[in-house]
Structure 1
């Protein structure tokens, strides 16, 4: 019965969205209030329909209803309840349902809390219902999470993928989906502004608020995904430039660019066209990322599905949503209202170059992500674009971004202060790059220069203008500097060795000694494991900490996983992971000393914290 009720709720909600968005759009165009305000009942029916479907799917997981294919494939009776809940979005069908529901939730919140003009809101909801309807049809016809196993179904399920049985995977997907749903609302606000040809101050305020919250969710989602990869996958890295990772990073870059463009739009209506373009292409790249993740065109630990038919359906949705938006933007470009005064201050020029830099970075990453797929489709060959390409593009971008950030923060300062910031930044960079032991003096110097310039210019800004500071921007930029230092510390100063170890083995690494003491057998409800006991000693052979890496075997499917033993520290992490078993007692073991790696996520936390200053300042101005 749960499956039938869930399918009914999906059909009701999806078709309500599909059949209502055209009358609402026409009503808004013709100023017909009856049809224009139809979005209220349509949105309520759509929201409650998808909410009912999501709750019913959760109930099916909690009650072990293995007559539903999706539940049988991604759960079992011994799975803890909190993982059963997270299994809802553990694969393609459920995660798609969650994404559509978050779009509905965003829409309802906007309808309740925004004070935008009625006709503007009608245009926003017409576009939102169209998006929800198309995605709902995709779910019904290609990815129904309530499909049945009848008449025969298993007594127990296959289990949730072991790599998803982690706290990071409980929160990482919902945060990203909330960000993606925010991109859909930003897209619709941009389309409504395009229809109107301008944005009033209240509409700019709504767009800014939605954009900041969307940026927060994307930041949190990317940060938590990186943290999960570092802690769970056992390879010791935190970013692989994987196509799926890039698919979430590109929209973040575009949203960051849009936030900077909104700085000018809020005060003098400049860059309205740029804001609308970022709104359209941010969601367009989100849909492209959805196609990459769910079509099977790439193989990734993050990918959800491998059905080409779903990919074709997603391409159709992409075309139906994005191509008309781009065409409409092109035809309305010259009619979008912008001030005739084309003069810009130094600060505004810095913002404009910053936006262009972020957009260009997005395009470079998109090219590196899609070109191997295009090459394979057109020339039927195999081509790989890896970290060297992305690093060679992104490192100069980071340096340029740091220079622009510093210029913006020093915009009211006199030239001696500018000279002091530049000289000190170069001096610190040269010392770290060429006077310390690191993997690449050039990359180290560039990274340290970027972080130093941002921090020093921010300090000068605080000292000179205590009462005229945009703390949202200042703290966010400080977070970027801290993350840059974390990246430099981990990539340029880490010590790593992959060695054979067993009881009694010791290995010096850096200023430490790793001693493999023993291996123990441990048993948990869902897996059993060989657990290593590794002691970390200083040069005086005093025990600093003890690490317990595991080689896990899951009982439900026999899948083996590596769980690293990690000692987290403010200045460095100690990281040990167990690889393949080489003999009855010995394993292939990865030993790592990772300076400042935790600063990568500390910087992300500062970026999230910066939003508090935005909303506090916003409340004071109300």
Structure 2
């Protein structure tokens, strides 16, 4: 009964979404307050219904109800409970239901927190959200229904894909979808503003918190996905330029540009048209990512579906929303004012430069991702665009941006003094230069480019600290006054500094592990020893072990440093009973910011085991930096100036204004 209730809730949610998508728009065009007032309760009701449906599917997984086809295909009665719950979205149908749940959740948030939005704008925003919701509910109900029944019901399930039986599945997809879908609110605000024909600084003030929330979640989601692939797949890499990885990275790049562009629009009422265009582009790239993952056009460990029918349906949604939004933009762009003017050397100018490099980087990744697909569809030729292309095109675009980052926050609005800012950054530049020289001196044979890359990371760290120090008046006021000013800085200032600081940490981690990591592939038997980095590993042999729904051979390695026992690393070859699918469980030992990474391969006819050993210096900085960036986003969201919507005048002030009139 609970399964039918979940299915019925989805049908009802579709009906409500259709009402939400039509009535408020009609009301905004007619000036009918009653019709516009339909939008908020409709959005909240849709969320309640989809939440009920999602709960019903989760209960089916928890109780191992194999009469539900989706549960039978992706679960097993012996699977640990955490994987039964996370397995709800470890498949195409369930993940789409999670996608829609987050979509209607954001709609409900707009309805709740948008009390002080202009009535017309709020109605149009929620109506556009209704269009998106209705489209994806139709997609799920017609092509990807998670509540299909099996009769008779199987006794046991086929189990979840072994690669997905990990804590990463519980964290990565929800965070990623919060980012993907969060940008739908920015898209809806952009389309709503184009429908109304009104875009101003207040609009940017309403959009920026949603952009920041989505960007923060997407940053955390991509980071978690990177680390999950790093330790789960046993390849020893943290980023592969996989097309589906790129599909999440492109909205992040565009969203970063949107975040900075909206700031210019809010402060100076400049870049209006560009900001609206970025809002459309960012969510369009999110939809493109959804299409790539679920259409079957890509072969990837990240891809969910290979059914071309589903791909055609999502392509239709893609064309409808992207094409419709850009057509509306083309119709309205000429009637929109361009906003205020500013000097090239100013904070606005620095943010424009930021946007230029970020959008160029996005275009580079987009071309590299889609070119093989386009070429194959036209000529039938199959090619692969891999890391060499992206490293040679993406890297050079990002280096000038990284060098310019510390200048932006320290420049004045409208007209800045580049010489004065350069003088303030002398100390940061000196620290970066000393770091480069130190790397070259202490890391014998270190590539010059590696030293420069680490110096750029340190430049970002020192630059972010310098920004806060000068805002607080370092060198101009006494120490007690400096601390009082520092504590009194707006939270958005700390959020920006944390994000830039985190970017510097990530850059250091990327450069260090790329330049200084070592890899050893060898065959070993019990008692054999190998050297990796500063450590010596001794193979202790293989040991069988049984898990709840798998069997494995564990390879144990004792680790020593300079002859002193340091610890133990265990890697395993695992086979899941239901699917008979093998996986490699990497063994990782973390020491400071570096890691020793061991991957156990197959046994050879001679009775030895193939072993891959990596020494990865400073690799954890890659993910520590993204944590700082995410925390920076959260801190900025806590700034009182980023309240959603515009301030509402108090009754006392309204009465005074009426009396004076």
Q: Which TM-score band (shorter chain)?
A: over 0.9
- Give the Å deviation of 1:582: 1.4
Q: Which residue of the other structure, out of 585, 604, 618, is the alignment partner of 1:596? A: 618
Q: Which residue of the other structure, out of 507, 515, 518, is the alignment partner of 1:484? A: 507
Asked if residue 607 in structure 1 is aligned to residue 607 in structure 2, the reply is: no
Asked if residue 25 in structure 1 is aligned to residue 25 in structure 2, the reply is: yes
Deviations 1:462-484 (A, max 9, x none): 33332467211111001000001
- Give the Å deviation of 1:16: 2.6
In the alignment, the residues of structure 2 paired with residue 243 and residue 261 of structure 1 have an alpha-carbon distance, to the nearest angstrom, of 27
Deviations 1:57-102 (A, max 9, x none): 0111112111111100000111122211111100100000110011
In the alignment, the residues of structure 2 paired with residue 20 and residue 407 of structure 1 have an alpha-carbon distance, to the nearest angstrom, of 45
In the alignment, the residues of structure 1 paired with residue 49 and residue 573 of structure 2 have an alpha-carbon distance, to the nearest angstrom, of 44
In the alignment, the residues of structure 2 paired with residue 221 and residue 562 of structure 1 have an alpha-carbon distance, to the nearest angstrom, of 23
Q: Which residue of the other structure, out of 439, 443, 448, is the alignment partner of 1:432? A: 439
Q: Describe the SS at the equivalent of 1:568.
A: strand
The equivalences for 1:154-553 within 5 A come to 154-411=154-411, 413=420, 415-419=422-426, 421-422=428-429, 424-429=431-436, 431-432=438-439, 436-437=443-444, 440-442=447-449, 444-466=450-472, 467=485, 470-538=493-561, 540-553=562-575
- Give the Å deviation of 1:111: 0.6
In the alignment, the residues of structure 2 paired with residue 384 and residue 433 of structure 1 have an alpha-carbon distance, to the nearest angstrom, of 36
In the alignment, the residues of structure 1 paired with residue 642 and residue 109 of structure 2 have an alpha-carbon distance, to the nearest angstrom, of 22
Cα distance, 1:358–1:434 mapped onto 2, change above 3 Å: farther
Q: Would you say the 8 A contact 1:361–1:397 is kept in 2?
A: yes
The equivalent residue for 1:78 is 78
Deviations 1:394-417 (A, max 9, x none): 222231111220222453645444
Q: Would you say the 8 A contact 1:580–1:588 is kept in 2?
A: yes
Deviations 1:35-71 (A, max 9, x none): 2222134323322221121011011111211111110
Worse-superposed segment, 300-309 or 344-353: 344-353
The equivalent residue for 2:137 is 136
The equivalent residue for 1:145 is 146
Deviations 1:154-211 (A, max 9, x none): 1100001111111111110011111112111111011122223334555433211111
- Give the Å deviation of 1:418: 4.4
Q: Would you say the 8 A contact 1:246–1:369 is kept in 2?
A: yes
TM-score of the superposed pair, with normalisation by structure 1: 0.95
Worse-superposed segment, 60-69 or 136-145: 60-69
- Give the Å deviation of 1:332: 1.0
The equivalent residue for 2:583 is 561
Cα distance, 1:478–1:94 mapped onto 2, change above 3 Å: same
- Give the Å deviation of 1:431: 5.0
The equivalent residue for 1:125 is 126
Cα distance, 1:418–1:6 mapped onto 2, change above 3 Å: closer
The equivalent residue for 1:5 is 5
In the alignment, the residues of structure 2 paired with residue 93 and residue 439 of structure 1 have an alpha-carbon distance, to the nearest angstrom, of 49
The equivalent residue for 2:658 is none
Cα distance, 1:47–1:587 mapped onto 2, change above 3 Å: same
Q: Describe the SS at the equivalent of 1:529.
A: strand
In the alignment, the residues of structure 2 paired with residue 613 and residue 5 of structure 1 have an alpha-carbon distance, to the nearest angstrom, of 40
For these two proteins, the number of residue pairs brought into alignment is: 619
In the alignment, the residues of structure 2 paired with residue 391 and residue 485 of structure 1 have an alpha-carbon distance, to the nearest angstrom, of 16
Larger RCO: Structure 1 or Structure 2 (Cα < 8 Å, ≥ 6 residues apart)? 2
Q: Would you say the 8 A contact 1:505–1:516 is kept in 2?
A: yes
Q: Would you say the 8 A contact 1:569–1:598 is kept in 2?
A: no
Unaligned segments of structure 2, at least 5 residues: 412-416, 473-484, 648-661
Deviations 1:126-160 (A, max 9, x none): 1000000001101111111111222x331100001
Q: Would you say the 8 A contact 1:14–1:133 is kept in 2?
A: yes
Q: Would you say the 8 A contact 1:398–1:450 is kept in 2?
A: no
The equivalent residue for 1:42 is 42
Q: Describe the SS at the equivalent of 2:88.
A: helix
TM-score of the superposed pair, with normalisation by structure 2: 0.90
Q: Would you say the 8 A contact 2:468–2:494 is kept in 1?
A: no
Deviations 1:2-33 (A, max 9, x none): 33322222122123313441232122122122
Aligned CA RMSD, in angstroms, stands at 2.0
Cα distance, 1:110–1:414 mapped onto 2, change above 3 Å: closer
- Give the Å deviation of 1:576: 0.6
Cα distance, 1:414–1:141 mapped onto 2, change above 3 Å: closer
The equivalent residue for 2:609 is 587
Q: Would you say the 8 A contact 1:410–1:457 is kept in 2?
A: no
- Give the Å deviation of 1:324: 0.9
Q: Would you say the 8 A contact 1:550–1:564 is kept in 2?
A: yes
In the alignment, the residues of structure 2 paired with residue 378 and residue 191 of structure 1 have an alpha-carbon distance, to the nearest angstrom, of 33
Q: Would you say the 8 A contact 1:522–1:529 is kept in 2?
A: yes
Q: Would you say the 8 A contact 1:570–1:599 is kept in 2?
A: no
Deviations 1:524-547 (A, max 9, x none): 111111111101222x32111210
In the alignment, the residues of structure 2 paired with residue 612 and residue 39 of structure 1 have an alpha-carbon distance, to the nearest angstrom, of 28
Q: Would you say the 8 A contact 1:262–1:275 is kept in 2?
A: yes
- Give the Å deviation of 1:452: 2.4
- Give the Å deviation of 1:423: 5.3
- Give the Å deviation of 1:345: 4.3
Q: Which residue of the other structure, out of 573, 592, 597, is the alignment partner of 1:575? A: 597
Worse-superposed segment, 574-583 or 584-593: 584-593
Cα distance, 1:383–1:433 mapped onto 2, change above 3 Å: farther
- Give the Å deviation of 1:518: 2.0
Cα distance, 1:166–1:238 mapped onto 2, change above 3 Å: same
